[in-house]
A and B are shown apart, each in its own frame.
Chain A
Amino acid sequence: MEFGPIWRAALRNKTGILLIVLQVAFTMAIVINSIAIAQERAKQMSRPSGVDEANTFSLNSSGFAADFNSRLTVEEDLRQLRGMPGVTSAVQINAIPLGGSGWSMGLKTKPGAEIESVPTAVYFVDEKGIDALGVKLIAGENFASSDIRWREPATRDWADKIIVTRALAIKLFPEEEGYGVGKVVYINDTEPMTIVGVIDRLQMPWSGWTEGVEQSMLVPEHLVGNSTAYMVRAETGRRDMLMPQVETLLAESEDGRIIRNLRTMEETRKRSYEGNQALINILTVTIAILIGITTLGVAGLTSFNVTRRTKQIGTRRALGASRKAILRYFLAENFLFTAIGVTLGAVLAVGLNMLLVDVFSIPRFSWYLLPLAMLTLVLIGQLAVLVPARRAATVPPAIATRTV
């Protein structure tokens, strides 16, 4: 190809090259880093909560009347919910996974205030908890109904037994083969609790955690208190039908409380990751518009150049250039500029990424994005010049003998 003369000719209009090279380079730097951020957020969002999300929903019951009896209400609610046709299981719970608010405690493998603790989300459930959440017991055993007690507000002491997630078990007892079933951990510095079972996975209520988001434990207690939540797991396909039924049933069964926040787990997930999803959407739109503008810009630039060089193209045709050769000339010219652009862009992208990693702890982008983006931008550049270049190819050679 005739890169030599193209390059030497281009040097006659350095600003022109600089403008297009910078444009491609900036585009590349923005695109790569945007993709990197979006990828990381998407990865966060793809983490399973452990709950049977498709069939489960949750709601809040908030008592307000002076004579509201929370314990009786919970007992009655659970009896009704568990008896409803279509309900697989239901449980009173203090927090919803991914729900945004909850309770966390520190667990220690040795007693003592000076020992470092492992943070864990606390879910108070009864023996139906595992079933209602749809989590899988992978070691040990479930709570027995006799394990369950009622917890008054501001109670100091804790249950003797807990079930932990696999992630929490590994964090606490990295060496243990059986995930530490039967081991004792300490809460409130010194109070012992025995791990009786291990579940596969259950995320914390806070989706923003990147590390340790699966560090949760189940505690066999019912909470006494005016405001509480239920999670209801429906038989496959019956969730949407059940939800209004459950709402009406609970609302009508007790006057002194309000049923609020009736949500499917899918909705809870959506709310939890609203910010992530928004960021991904914004970045996607940005990338699309940016590439669109750059593509059209390159096409437009070539178009003006074709108009400007009509005579020159005719002369080349007269001197023996075929239509294909003219097409090739413009493709080669574009290739040269975009190639320089993406090369500079690669440097810029890495630089920008280093800055972002440094200042905002945004992840380093995967290496493969670099060649992929370079290749894509070069291809897009070639596509962009195709239309004006084809127009150039149709310039008749007889233009050459026309005197201006």
Chain B
Amino acid sequence: MFKLLSYNLKLALRNIRRNPVLSALMIVAIGIGIGASMSMVTVNYRFSMNPVPQKSDVLHFVRLDSWSADFPFNDGKAPPNQMTYLDATALLREHRAFRQAMMSRSSLAVEPENREERPFFVNVRATTADFFPMFDVPFRYGSGWSATEDEAVQQVVVLGAETNERVFGGEDSVGRNIKLSGSNYRVVGVLEEWDPLPRFYEPTGGTGLVEDIFIPWQLVITKELPRTGNTNCWRPLQGDGFQAFLNSECIWIQFWAELRNENERAAYEDFLDAYVTGQKELGRFPRPLDNRATPLMQLLDELGMVPDEAQVLLGLSFMFLAVCLLNTIGLLLAKFLGKSTEIATRRALGASRRVLFQQYLVEAGLIGLGGGVLGLGFTWLGLKGIDAQFDDEAVSRYMTLDWNMALVAVVLAIVASLITAIYPTWRACNVQPAAWLKAN
């Protein structure tokens, strides 16, 4: 049996080498087809990843419909994607969920201790204490701050791995001070590399990177820090100045709650409705009640994280793969059918159908396998190629081949090579598949 296989392998290699150009074409065609479709599968997969797989069931994005009666947000399909200061602080104060955090984006200048070095700006996430345990943020040194520090508006900071590397050379900087936009902050924690994909917690669009500095949210108020996220208002401010802004109907804060089961979620939504009903009496919330605590994956689904372009390209790439497979099947078929005489001769010389089938399957399989291996390479190359089109660092994270996708690529390669190999082989040997199966 082994002898026969090695004989068939030798024949197959000889046959492949007899038409080097066309054999190469077949292999490259399968390879490119797999490369094209696998890179698009990977991109789509990366865009639709679960950023917090271990907790996605309990994380809920909280939305209140505080919008205008005349021109509802999003045509009334969903409540606004952010919250007003009034509502976010009220919900946080009520503390009705197991955990909850409000957050917004800002920007601060890091002034290195070394006066030689120029200050640099970093994106900052201002948030409240529960952010870290709620999202399972991994710490290398120290920890997040506590609710007490939130209340006392302490100037504390959690550094991302990159900033800690840049400012403190990667050392354990807990307890040390860092100067941010003119004032000193005490480092309480340093993160491990943390890059949830997508950066889910600010679902207002964009593929942005995770911020690298975290500060207590209340500092946004006391220091009147700049807002670098989206701010959206439906109603003019009722006065001038920062306080008027805080009291306005402008939305700019994201609010998350950890609700451990359906009961907690239902209770929380009841609480939201009760809160909004109370606010209605103060003349706010002109729209009908639409307040939601949406589980993370449902939210991502609703937002449609995968860009249309990626989905269209995925479809096109599968058609592309189909063309490549049709191409190779056609070529193999034409090649094998040209061998009818040789096949007849071999049959006459005592080769059974099964042996012949094996011989041609080995040849076709080798071509498919070659294409599959090449396809893995093309997948990697394709992702690199797409990545190279973008300067934006945040995009690169979606153009990475991970082990899961490499495995899928291997499976796709095997399936594609089998599809390519079996039909022409079967036609060449003209066996009934049923008979063939029986023979096995």
Chain A interface residues toward B at CB < 8 A: 13, 15-16, 19-20, 22-23, 26-27, 29-30, 33-34, 37, 62, 64-66, 113-114, 116, 152-157, 188-191, 225-227, 258, 260, 271, 274-275, 277-279, 281-282, 285-286, 289-290, 293-294, 296-297, 300-301, 303-305, 307-308, 356, 360-362, 404
Check B119 against A64 for contact (C-beta < 8 Å). Answer: yes
Is B267 part of the contact surface with A, judged by Cβ < 8 Å?
A: no
Known: A19-B326, A64-B111. A29 touches B242 (CB 8 A): no
Taking a contact as CB atoms under 8 Å apart, the answer to whether A23 and B327 are in contact is: yes
Q: Would you call A154 and B338 a contact (CB within 8 A)?
A: no
Of A155, A157, A282, chain B has the most CB atoms within 10 Å of the CB of A282
Convert B9-29 into 0s and 1s, putting 1 for each residue whose CB lies closer than 8 angstroms to a CB of A. Answer: 000000000000110011011
Pick from B22, B320, B341: contact of A303, CB below 8 A.
Answer: B22
Instruction: Chain A residues near B331: list those with CB within 8 A.
Output: 297, 300-301, 304
Contact yes or no, A290 B323, CB < 8 A? yes
Taking a contact as CB atoms under 8 Å apart, the answer to whether B392 and A286 are in contact is: no
Q: Do B111 and A226 touch (CB < 8 A)?
A: no
Q: Nearest-CB distance from B406 to chain A (Å)?
A: 21
Residues of chain B within 8 A of A289, CB atoms compared:
32, 36
User: A282 to chain B: which residues have CB within 8 Å?
Assistant: 313, 385-386, 389
Q: Is the Cβ of B32 less than 8 Å from the Cβ of A293?
A: yes
List of 6 A-B pairs having minimum Cβ-Cβ separation, nearest first:
A64-B109, A278-B389, A188-B236, A304-B334, A66-B182, A308-B338
By CB atoms of chain A within 10 A, which of B244, B386, B389, B390 has the most? B389
A-binding segment of B53-61, B269-277, B304-312, B347-355? B304-312
B391 touches A15 (CB 8 A): no
**B241 x A154 contact (CB < 8 A):** yes
Check if B120 is an interface residue, CB within 8 A of chain A.
yes
Q: Is the CB–CB distance between B392 and A274 below 8 Å?
A: yes
A338 to chain B, nearest CB (A): 13
User: Which residues from 310 to 369 on chain B have a C-beta closer than 8 Å to any C-beta of chain A?
Assistant: 311-313, 316-317, 319-320, 322-324, 326-331, 333-335, 337-338, 341
- One of A64, A65, A286, A300 near B22 (C-beta < 8 A): A300
Query: What are 22 of the A-B contact pairs (CB < 8 Å)?
Result: A23-B323, A27-B323, A113-B70, A116-B71, A154-B242, A189-B236, A258-B109, A258-B118, A274-B392, A275-B390, A278-B390, A279-B313, A281-B389, A282-B313, A293-B28, A293-B32, A293-B323, A301-B330, A308-B334, A356-B312, A361-B308, A404-B341
Main secondary structure of the interface of B (DSSP, over half): helix
Q: Which residues of the other chain, B, contact A190 by a CB distance below 8 angstroms?
A: 236
From A156, A191, A278, B240 is in contact (CB under 8 Å) with A156
Cross-chain contact of A293 among B107, B244, B324, B385 (Cβ < 8 A)? B324
Across-interface contacts of B328 in A (CB, < 8 A)? 297
Per the bound structure, the CA–CA distance linking A58 and B129 in Å amounts to 39
Q: Bound state CA distance, A307 and B15, in angstroms? A: 14
Cα distance A297–B244 when bound, in Å?
Answer: 70
Q: Is the CB of B240 within 8 A of A274?
A: no
Please state if B226 and A19 are interface contacts (CB–CB under 8 Å): no
For residue B308, which residue of chain A has the nearest CB?
Answer: A360
Option from B107, B312, B326 in Cβ contact (under 8 Å) with A22: B326
> Within the assembled complex, what's the spacing in Å between the Cα atoms of A313 and B1?
41
CB distance from B77 to the nearest CB of A (A): 16
Contact of B240 with A293 in the complex, beta carbons under 8 Å: no
A29-B108 contact given A154-B245, A155-B240, A227-B226, CB 8 Å threshold:
no
Q: In chain B, what residue has the closest Cβ to A157?
A: B240
- Docked Cα-Cα span, A281 to B313, in Å, equals 12
Rounded to whole angstroms, the CA-CA distance of A290 and B32 in the bound complex is 9
B337 contacts which of A13, A64, A258 (Cβ < 8 Å)?
A13
B386 CB to closest chain A CB (Å) equals 6
Specify the chain B residue showing the minimal Cβ separation from A260.
Answer: B121
Contact A154 B327 (CB under 8 A): no
Residue among A157, A274, A285, A305 making CB contact with B334, cutoff 8 Å = A305
Chain A residue contacts of B244, Cβ below 8 A: 154, 156
Within 8 A of A (CB), among B246-279: none
Could you say which of A20, A189, A258 contacts B121, with CB atoms under 8 Å apart?
A258
Q: What separation, in Å, do the CA atoms of A383 and B285 have in the docked complex? A: 69
